Structures are given as C-alpha cells and as structure tokens.
Amino acid sequence: MLTFEQLAETFSPGEAIKEELEERGWSQRDLAAIMGVQPSIVNGIIKGTKPISLDLARNLAAAFGTSAQYWVNMDTSYRLHLVPTPHIATSVRSQLYEVAPVNEMIKRGWIESAYDVEVLQSRIEAFYGRPLEQINSGDLCYAARQGTEYGDGPTPAQRAWLRRARILAKAVQAGSFTSSSIDAAIEKLRPLMSHADEARHVPRVLAECGIRFLVIEHLPQTRIDGVCLWLDEQRPVIAVSMRYDRLDYFWFTILHELGHVNKRDGLTTVLAPDVDLVGEKASKTDLKPEVEQMADLFASEHMIKRSEMENFIMRVKPMFSKVKIQGFALRQGVHPAIVIGQLQHRGAIHWSHSREFLVKVRNIITSTALTDGWGQILPNIS
C-alpha cells in the first residue's frame, strides 16, 4: 500500500476528488451544493490553491463516506511535496546549537554573528579548530573545577569556556617552566596572601615561573571555577572564572590548580569535572576522586599548614570569635578571609560567619591579568 507521502507524488487531493466525482457522475457544483459551500471553494480544492481545513475535511468525509483524517493526511503530504527542499539551514543550526552555546559566544565576542548558516558554521569550526561533527569528541586534556557531578563530561558551554581559555592562553607571555617552577611559585605567592591588594602580583609571579594565567568570566550555568591545561609539555596554563568575588575563593582556586600543575594533571589525561570549590554546595575533600583530593590538600597546605589549622580548631572551637580569627591569621601571615574559608570548608563555622572579612578581589586581579568578560571583549587569537 502506498503511503500518503508516496501518494502525494502522483495524486493531489484535487485529483482524488475528481475521481470521486467521475465515479458518482457529479459536477463540482453538485459537490458544492451537497457540502453547502460556494462552488469556488470546491474549485480551489481541486486546483490545489485552497488547503483543506479540518472543517472541510469533515465535510468531504461526510460527502464521500471516508474519514476526515484521510483528507487531512493527503492534503498535508501534498503540500509538503510541493516544497521538496528540506530546511537544511534549520537542521545545521540545530546541530550548531547542540554542540556550542552560540548566542553566548556571539554575545561575548568569541565569534561573529552571521545570518548565513554556512558562514556561522565556518566561524564555529574555526573557534574549535575542528569540523562540526568532531567538536564534541574533542581531545581537550584538562583538570577542571566545574559544577557538575563527578564522571560527567563537559557540557557544550563548559567546552566552549575551556576552548576559549586554550585560545587566549597563547597570548600570555611567560618564562620557562622547569622542575623547580612550582616551588618557586609557592615561595613568591605565599607572602602575597596577607593583604587583598597583593593579589595583583599573582599573574606576574606565575608568568615568571613559566605558568600562564588568565581570567575568563564563566558562561551561564557552566559553574566552572578554574582549569589547569597545557599548551604543550612545557607550557602549563591556569585559568580562573572568578565566579565568586571573594579572596579565600581566589586563593584556594589558584593553589588548587597549581596543585594540578605540580602533578602534571590534565597533560595526558582528561579528568572528570567536579562540584563547586566553596560555598554550601562544595563537596568535602574526602568525598572527591583522589586526584582532586591531592589538589585540595595541596591548596590547603600551602595556605595554612594542616597541623596549624587543626591545632587552632581544637583550641578554639566552638568559640571562633573575630578577634581569635584575626590573631591566628596574623600569626600565619594570611588574610583573615583565608582562615574563614578554611574553617567553613571544614564545617567548623557556618557560611554566614564573619562575612565582612571575605573581601572582594576580582577588580584587583583583572587589573593585571589577561581578562575576558565583564564587558571586556578581546580580539580573536588564532
């Protein structure tokens, strides 16, 4: 039996009606009178210039003893057959939007807008450096702090952010990365933790130690905090999103990613994304994969030694007054925000405790780092 699609290639509803009329010996005027419509309506249906509405389909069904669905299906198939060219442009755009956050990328200036779908596709492919069908199967190696459950792969928006980080990192100048770079970086970074303004020196210090650093505003719902990636074996990159504008979050993110660099994480393997670094949704360190536990411990140890932190908690809990926190921070040579962040992360104090110490740092960092976002649009870098 022919399908309606195949039937539409040889028969229109008008031709079917003409056959019905011939079999019954009716004229078009006869059918119009039977249906109670103007003869011009019947003539329009037969010529194919008038679509068959649901009401007309019911009327034709009553006149010829068929079903209304028969006429609706035949008319729909016929009209689709009249426009044989599929909506290729729509299909391609659908693929583009599945693999990339197109509107956000245009908004952020990562790609130029284009009405022509072929031009848009070429720009997206140029951004990712690969054909459309290979974008989601990319070979990005990274150790990322992202807001999805462990084991999930990057979303299209997360992948776009990571790709942008890799592109922009090429424009950051840095010295040679050697086996002693991490120790040198820690030695230079540690004195900067006592005052918020000192964070402005972080990009320079990391560059001197052969580590490229940049700030990229996160895309909506990506929840990426930072990433360790490698341009090659001698060019590590740390990119942060500054999703939370607070000093403790900044330092923990920097040192966490530095821990990944230290272990060469993300150089040859892809690590599963994990959950938020700070805040009430942050996962406890001992619940994370081993590679993330190591990076967490590296960060914590180089802000405040674990033994010092645990000793302070044992001596003071549960009375963590602002005075005691400030005194401990002073002895450790760090800003009180770093102490508060560590206490919160360990569950020793509530997230609302001493929030006045959690100073903002984003503007300080972006004043000295290569920054993409918050109204700053960088030119495309090949």
The number of angstroms, rounded, from the C-alpha of 341 to the middle of its chain's C-alpha atoms is 27
- Give me the amino acid identity at 327: G
Task: Please give the average per-residue pLDDT across 334-358, as a whole number.
Answer: 86
Identify the pLDDT of residue 117.
Answer: 93
The confidence band for 10, taking pLDDT boundaries of 50, 70 and 90, is: low
What pLDDT score does 86 carry? 63
Q: How far apart are CA 345 and CA 362, in angstroms?
A: 21
Percentage of the chain with pLDDT > 70? 88
Tokens of 181: 């770079």
Q: In 3-state terms, what secondary structure has residue 377?
A: coil
For residue 178 the two structure tokens come to 């050697």
> What would the mean pLDDT of 111-116 be, rounded to a whole number?
94
| pLDDT score of 182 | 97
pLDDT of residue 351: 75
Among 87, 109, 121, residue whose Cα is nearest residue 377: 109
Q: What pLDDT is recorded for position 290?
A: 87
Question: Which pLDDT score is estimated for 1?
Answer: 44
Question: Nearest 5°: CA angle at 256, between 302 and 238?
Answer: 120
Alpha helices by DSSP H, the chain:
4-10, 13-24, 28-35, 39-47, 54-64, 68-82, 88-99, 102-107, 117-128, 156-169, 181-189, 202-208, 247-262, 290-303, 306-316, 322-332, 336-345, 362-366
Q: For position 267, what pLDDT does the model report?
A: 83
Most confident stretch, 138-152, 162-176, 342-356: 162-176
- Give the pLDDT score at 285: 74
With cut-offs at 50, 70 and 90, classify the pLDDT of residue 279.
Answer: low
Of 142-156, 203-217, 360-374, the range with the lowest mean pLDDT is 142-156
Q: Which positions ≥6 away from 201 have C-beta within 8 Å?
A: 192, 368
Neighbours of 168 (CB within 10 A): 22
Cβ burial of 12 (10 Å; 0-12, 13-18, 19+) is buried
Give the separation between CA 201 and CA 212, rounded to whole angstroms. 13
The predicted model gives 365-379 an average pLDDT of 89
* pLDDT band (50, 70, 90) for residue 368: very high
Could you report the per-residue pLDDT of 35-91, keeping only the tens digit for each?
Answer: 999 999 999 999 988 999 999 999 999 999 999 999 998 898 888 877 766 678 888
pLDDT tens digits, 11-26? 789 999 999 999 999 9
* Per-residue CA distances from 269 to 61, 140, 155, 233, 272 (Å): 66, 9, 18, 13, 10
Give 266's pLDDT tier (boundaries 50, 70, 90).
Answer: confident
Tens of pLDDT, residues 154-204: 889 989 999 999 999 999 999 999 999 999 999 999 999 999 999 999 999
State how far the Cα of 141 lies from the Cα of 37, in Å rounded to an integer.
70
What is residue 32's predicted lDDT score, i.e. its pLDDT? 92
Lowest mean pLDDT among 82-96, 123-137, 211-225: 82-96
Could you tell me if 216 and 241 are in contact, meaning their C-beta atoms sit under 8 angstroms apart?
yes
Using DSSP's 3-state secondary structure scheme, residue 282 falls into coil
Q: Is the pLDDT of residue 286 over 80?
A: no
Strands (E), 233-355: 235-240
Indicate the residue type of 135.
I
Q: Token pair for residue 290?
A: 């081993």
Out of 169-173, 270-274, 296-300, least confident range: 270-274
What average pLDDT does range 213-229 have in this prediction?
91
